[in-house]
A and B are shown apart, each in its own frame.
Chain A
Amino acid sequence: MSTPTQTDPGLVARLGTVKWSNYVVYIGFVLVFVFFAVTQTQYFLNATNLTNIVIQAAPITIMAIGMVFVLSTGEIDLSIGSTVALSGLTAGVVLQATDQWWLAALCGLAIGAAVGLVNGIFITWVRLPSFLVTLATMGLVAGLARQLTDLQSVPVTDKAFVWIFGGGNLLGLPIMVWWTAAAVLVGWHLLRQRRYGAHVLAVGNSAAASRVSGIKVNRVRLMVFVGSAMTAALAGLLYAGRLQGARYTLGETDLMTVIAASIVGGTSLFGGKGTVIGALIGSLLMSMINNGLILSGLNVSQQMIVRGAIILIAVSFSLRGKKNS
Chain B
Amino acid sequence: MPSETALPGQKASGAPTETPLRLVGIHKNFGGVVAIKTFDLDVQAGEIVALVGDNGAGKSTLIKIISGLYQPSDGEIWLDGRPANFRDASDARAKGVEVVYQDLALVVDQPVYMNMFLGRELTTGPFKILDRKRMATETQKLVDSLDVRIPSAKATLSDLSGGQRQGVAICRATHWASSLVLLDEPTAALGVAETAKVEELILKLKARGAAILIVSHNMDQVFRIADRVSVLRRGTQVGTRVLADTTHNELVAMITGLTS
Q: Do A and B bind each other?
A: yes
Which chain A residues have a beta carbon within 8 Å of chain B's beta carbons? 1-4, 192-195, 197-199, 201-202, 205-206, 208-210, 212-215, 268, 272-273, 325
Query: How many angstroms from the CA of A201 to the CA of B101 in the assembled complex?
Result: 21
Judge whether A209 and B148 touch: CB under 8 Å. Answer: no
Judge whether B118 and A215 touch: CB under 8 Å. Answer: yes
- Interface extent on B, as a size class? 20 to 34
Query: How many angstroms from the CA of A205 to the CA of B115 in the assembled complex?
Result: 11
Judge whether A214 and B93 touch: CB under 8 Å. Answer: yes
Our pick among B99, B108, B128 for the contact of A212 (Cβ within 8 Å) is: B99
| Chain A residue nearest in CB terms to B122 | A195
Query: How many angstroms from the CA of A136 to the CA of B198 in the assembled complex?
Result: 49
- Asked, given contacts A2-B161, A206-B105, whether A194 binds B129 with beta carbons under 8 Å apart, the answer is yes
A contact residues around B99 at 8 Å (CB)? 212
Kindly list the 10 A-B residue pairs having the minimum CB-CB distance in the complex, ordered from nearest: A213-B119, A205-B107, A214-B119, A209-B105, A213-B118, A272-B109, A1-B197, A1-B163, A202-B107, A193-B129
Our pick among A2, A192, A206, A213 for the contact of B108 (Cβ within 8 Å) is: A206
12 A-B pairs within 8 Å (CB atoms) are namely A1-B150, A2-B163, A192-B130, A198-B110, A198-B114, A201-B107, A202-B114, A206-B105, A209-B118, A210-B118, A213-B120, A272-B108
Query: How many angstroms from the CA of A249 to the CA of B256 in the assembled complex?
Result: 70
Our pick among A210, A272, A325 for the contact of B119 (Cβ within 8 Å) is: A210
| Chain B residue nearest in CB terms to A214 | B119
| Chain B residue nearest in CB terms to A18 | B159
B90, B105, B118: most-surrounded residue (chain A CB, <10 A)? B118
B85 on the interface (CB 8 Å rule)? no
Judge whether A205 and B110 touch: CB under 8 Å. Answer: yes
Query: How many angstroms from the CA of A193 to the CA of B150 in the assembled complex?
Result: 25
Our pick among B114, B129, B130, B164 for the contact of A2 (Cβ within 8 Å) is: B164
- Asked, given contacts A1-B148, A3-B149, A215-B118, whether A208 binds B105 with beta carbons under 8 Å apart, the answer is yes
